[in-house]
């Protein structure tokens, strides 16, 4: 346990020194507040841009607060996930290729502890980023659109974070045996693949982690959702990623 | 709706600026980046959110 | 007391046998040089000893325990080019290494400061590793390998990548360290091995060519030889050729006015050769009677 803390603090110190602990949350906050702002000022922006056919704005109806909040969280599914995967891709792959993992592996530590500490550090960054981003998005939405249920927002953010964490965990798994960029690419591809399956056949694949973004939106607009299947499958996927990465790290050892 | 609420707009501008400043600071301290440094300065200054993200994710060589 | 017992250790990659059935025993307190040319299997051997590579065959028994027991706690390891986090300070890195070896935080801070002091990095401890020179990094590598007082220290080519100054610094440190713990270090330079160690394991192409105490090996492999050189372009070259046919000379190597003769009796050969040289008025430049060196042995092993 003490060694876990040692490794975890080292990961967090690296996050801080590489500014990852700062720039990722800032990006999430910007993404979060941009959505309510652009939605609210869209008519003005369009008007300002000039040549617009008259009458186009007549049908424009300001979406409700819940819908805007859901869209704001939806921003994290694209740029947010990309940022998290790219930021996580080198944490294990880089250590393996540079040789600093070699110096870790001669210490009396189980590979699982090394992996788990890395995963926990990424989880921390994700929570801070998503927490601040969702809070900022909520604040702006309330200011511009109207009131939101705090508990629904929390639940929605929680569901969304589980989806993002799945992608980060996949990145960690792939980077245990691939180069960083390839690992991030494959992880994003897997996430996109799951999303595609879910969007093509929603009733067959509504248990996939890829259903989580929809659930998160549903939580805001409808207030309650059947979350059990996707949450369970996401947790299992994440656990499998950690276990798989630990095994690979222990067995595959290091490049020769 | 006619009156723009600047109180809500300026934090967005400030955060974008903060991101660019952190990027420039890290760029100044970095020994090595992918591609020429001056290009990243331009990207950070004029590339908005995506420019900053690009610098932090692919511009830096992690060690 | 036996610290390390290696039996039949092998590592193959596909058909290629990188390390081929080697066995050796290392006593506690010894300093052993793993000597051999590049590609002899030294690094692979060290990495198997460090638990970084699973052996294809063979056993490693540490401190009398059953083979397969995890002894990483008692191990200090310095790879050929240690990759330490550039964004950490030297002190932070050593503290990190100490804690991972199981030393509690407060003590870790204390022993780490001492280890840095030890390798002469006390003043640089707060600086980032990214700004360290090659010699400083190697000394920091030694500090992290030593901080938990390991029973066995494995060093892979600790000085070969360094400039002469860095090399000197690290060699001085090794000389001190070998008195405190058991050291195995690999090198392709015989001189480095002779400078620090009493024992060598000479490897070539994955096998052990020769192993033992340096002083014994010196005796065992000393052959009586006579080296001489003459002015080139004189009639002396022909004289060297004629000497090679003398009955007291068993083998000879002659090139460009220089000759090395293996002889049965040094005293007899010396007298005969010098007498002839005086009689024939040979312009001798150099004459040496003695024994072959480890350098010759090393070259012979490496060359074959």
Asked if pLDDT for residue A255 goes beyond 70, the answer is no
- Do C154 and C229 belong to one domain? no
User: Could you tell me the CATH number of the domain that includes residue C287?
Assistant: 3.30.70.100
- Do C113 and C187 belong to one domain? yes
Averaging pLDDT over each range in A42-51, C29-38, C66-75, C91-100, which range is the top one? C91-100
> Domain total for chain C?
2
Pick from A248, A250, A113: nearest CA to A174: A248
Interface of A with C in 7-46 (CB under 8 A): 7, 10, 13-14, 17-18
Lowest mean pLDDT, pick from A20-29, A75-84, C65-74:
C65-74
> Containing domain of residue A210, as a range?
2-52+63-251
Within a domain: A256: no
Q: pLDDT digit string (tens) for C156-213?
A: 999 888 888 888 888 999 998 888 899 999 998 888 888 888 899 999 889 998 888 8
Residues B34-42: what's their mean pLDDT?
91
DSSP string, A164-214: HHHHHHHHHHHTTTS-HHHHHHHHHHHHHHHHHHHHHSTTTSTTSGGGHHH
- Do C45 and C172 belong to one domain? yes
- Do C153 and C290 belong to one domain? no
A:B CB pairs within 8 Å? 54
- Residue B40: exposure state from Cβ atoms within 10 A (0-12, 13-18, ≥19): buried
Tokens of A220: 């805001």
Interface of A with C in 90-119 (CB under 8 A): 98-100, 102-109
The percentage of residues in chain C with a pLDDT greater than 70, rounded to a whole number, is: 97
Pick from C176, C224, B56, C301: nearest CA to A24: B56
Averaging pLDDT over each range in A10-24, A41-55, A91-105, which range is the top one? A10-24
- Do C146 and C254 belong to one domain? no
**Out of C83, C84, C102, closest to residue A108 by CB:** C102
What does the alpha-carbon distance between residue A131 and residue A140 come to, in Å, rounded to a whole number? 14
User: Could you tell me the CATH number of the domain that includes residue C201?
Assistant: 3.40.50.300
Q: Do A26 and B23 touch (CB under 8 A)?
A: no
Tokens of C295: 């350098």
Block residue for tokens 């001056």: B38
What does the alpha-carbon distance between residue C82 and residue C72 come to, in Å, rounded to a whole number? 17
Q: Domain boundary residue among C161, C190, C219? A: C219
The answer to whether A228 faces chain C, any CB pair under 8 Å, is no
- Do C212 and C276 belong to one domain? no
Tokens of C111: 């022993």
Any chains having at least 3 CB pairs less than 8 A from chain B are A, C
Q: pLDDT digit string (tens) for A170-203?
A: 999 999 999 999 999 999 999 999 999 999 998 8
Residues in chain C within 8 Å Cβ distance of B31: 130
- Do C125 and C236 belong to one domain? no
At C112 the pLDDT is: 96
Within a domain: A57: no
At C27 the pLDDT is: 93
> Containing domain of residue C153, as a range?
2-219
What are the φ and ψ backbone dihedral angles of A148, each rounded to 5 degrees? -130, 155
- Do C6 and C74 belong to one domain? yes
Lowest mean pLDDT, pick from B37-51, C79-93, C132-146, C217-231:
C217-231
Residue of C72, C96, C100, C140 to mutate, testing the A interface (most A Cβ within 10 Å of its Cβ): C100
Instruction: Find out whether B62 and B30 touch, Cβ atoms under 8 Å.
Output: no
Q: Do B31 and C130 touch (CB under 8 A)?
A: yes
At A57 the pLDDT is: 67
Tell me the pairing of strands C75-78 and C57-62: unpaired
Q: Do C96 and A6 touch (CB under 8 A)?
A: yes
- Do C41 and C172 belong to one domain? yes
Lowest mean pLDDT, pick from A43-47, C36-40, C57-61:
A43-47
At C303 the pLDDT is: 65
Which band of pLDDT confidence, cut at 50, 70 and 90, is reported for residue A256?
very low
The ipTM of this complex is: 0.91
- Do C188 and C298 belong to one domain? no
Q: pLDDT digit string (tens) for A139-158?
A: 999 999 888 899 999 999 99
At A225 the pLDDT is: 80
Half-sphere exposure (Cβ direction) of A27: Cα atoms closer than 13 Å = 31
DSSP 8-state class, residue C88: S
What does the alpha-carbon distance between residue A113 and residue A3 come to, in Å, rounded to a whole number? 8
pTM (predicted TM-score): 0.86
At A46 the pLDDT is: 78
The answer to whether A202 faces chain C, any CB pair under 8 Å, is no
The answer to whether A1 faces chain C, any CB pair under 8 Å, is no
Within a domain: A29: yes
> Domain total for chain A?
1
B:C CB pairs within 8 Å? 5
Q: pLDDT digit string (tens) for C262-289?
A: 888 888 888 888 888 888 888 888 888 8
- Do C18 and C77 belong to one domain? yes
The answer to whether C131 faces chain B, any CB pair under 8 Å, is no
Asked if pLDDT for residue C222 goes beyond 80, the answer is no
Which band of pLDDT confidence, cut at 50, 70 and 90, is reported for residue A54?
low
Asked if pLDDT for residue C124 goes beyond 80, the answer is yes
What does the alpha-carbon distance between residue C78 and residue C76 come to, in Å, rounded to a whole number? 7
Q: Domain boundary residue among C192, C219, C246? A: C219
- Do C94 and C207 belong to one domain? yes
């Amino acid at each position: 346990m003490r060694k876990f803390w040692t490794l975890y603090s080292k990961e967090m110190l690296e996050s801080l020194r590489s500014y990852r602990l700062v720039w990722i949350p800032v990006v999430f906050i910007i993404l979060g507040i941009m959505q309510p702002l652009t939605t609210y000022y869209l008519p003005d922006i369009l008007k300002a841009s000039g040549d617009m056919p008259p009458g186009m704005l007549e049908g424009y109806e300001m979406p409700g607060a819940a819908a805007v909040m859901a869209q704001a969280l939806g921003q994290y599914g694209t740029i947010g996930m990309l940022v998290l995967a790219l930021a996580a891709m080198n944490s294990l792959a880089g250590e393996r290729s540079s040789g600093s993992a070699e110096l870790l592996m001669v210490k009396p530590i189980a590979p699982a502890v090394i992996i788990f500490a890395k995963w926990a550090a990424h989880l921390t960054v994700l929570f801070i980023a998503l927490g601040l981003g969702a809070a900022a998005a909520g604040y702006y939405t309330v200011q511009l659109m109207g009131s939101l249920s705090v508990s629904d927002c929390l639940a929605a953010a929680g569901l969304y974070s589980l989806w993002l964490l799945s992608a980060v965990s996949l990145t960690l798994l792939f980077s245990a045996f691939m180069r960083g960029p390839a690992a991030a690419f494959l992880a994003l591809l897997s996430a996109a693949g799951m999303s595609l399956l879910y969007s093509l056949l929603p009733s067959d694949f509504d248990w996939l982690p890829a259903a989580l973004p929809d659930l998160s939106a549903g939580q805001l607009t409808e207030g309650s959702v059947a979350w059990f299947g996707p949450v369970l499958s996401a947790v299992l996927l994440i656990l499998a990623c950690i276990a798989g990465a630990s095994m690979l790290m222990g067995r595959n050892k290091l490049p020769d | 709706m006619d009156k723009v609420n600047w109180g809500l707009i300026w934090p967005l501008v400030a955060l974008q600026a903060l991101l660019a400043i952190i990027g420039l600071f890290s760029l100044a301290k970095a020994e090595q980046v992918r591609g020429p440094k001056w290009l990243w300065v331009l990207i950070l200054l004029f590339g908005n959110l995506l420019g900053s993200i690009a610098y932090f994710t692919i511009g830096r060589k992690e060690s | 007391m036996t610290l390390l017992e290696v039996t039949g250790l092998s590592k193959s990659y596909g058909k290629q046998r990188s390390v081929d059935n080697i066995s050796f025993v290392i006593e506690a307190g010894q300093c052993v040089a793993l000597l051999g040319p590049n590609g002899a299997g030294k690094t692979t051997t060290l990495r198997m000893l460090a638990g970084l590579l699973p052996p294809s065959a063979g056993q490693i028994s540490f401190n009398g325990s059953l083979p397969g027991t995890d002894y990483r706690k008692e191990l200090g390891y310095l790879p050929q080019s240690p990759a330490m986090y550039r964004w950490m300070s030297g002190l932070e890195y050593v503290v990190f290494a100490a804690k991972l070896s199981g030393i509690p935080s407060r003590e870790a801070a204390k022993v780490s400061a001492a280890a840095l002091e030890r390798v002469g990095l006390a003043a640089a401890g707060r600086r980032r590793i990214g700004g360290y020179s090659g010699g400083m990094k190697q000394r920091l590598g030694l500090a992290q390998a030593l901080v938990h007082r390991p029973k066995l220290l494995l060093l892979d080519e600790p000085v070969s990548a360094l400039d002469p100054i860095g090399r000197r610094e690290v060699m001085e440190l090794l000389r001190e360290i070998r008195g405190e713990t058991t050291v195995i270090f690999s090198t392709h330079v015989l001189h480095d091995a002779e400078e620090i160690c009493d024992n060598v394991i000479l490897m070539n192409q994955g096998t052990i060519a020769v192993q033992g105490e340096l002083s014994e090996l010196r005796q065992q492999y000393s052959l009586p030889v006579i080296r001489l050189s003459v002015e080139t372009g004189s009639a002396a070259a022909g004289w060297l050729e004629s000497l090679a046919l003398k009955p007291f000379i068993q083998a000879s190597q002659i090139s460009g006015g220089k000759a090395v003769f293996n002889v049965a009796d040094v005293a007899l050969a010396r007298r005969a050769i010098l007498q002839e040289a005086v009689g024939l008025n040979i312009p001798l430049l150099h004459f040496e009677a003695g024994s072959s060196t480890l350098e010759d042995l090393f070259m012979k092993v490496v060359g074959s």
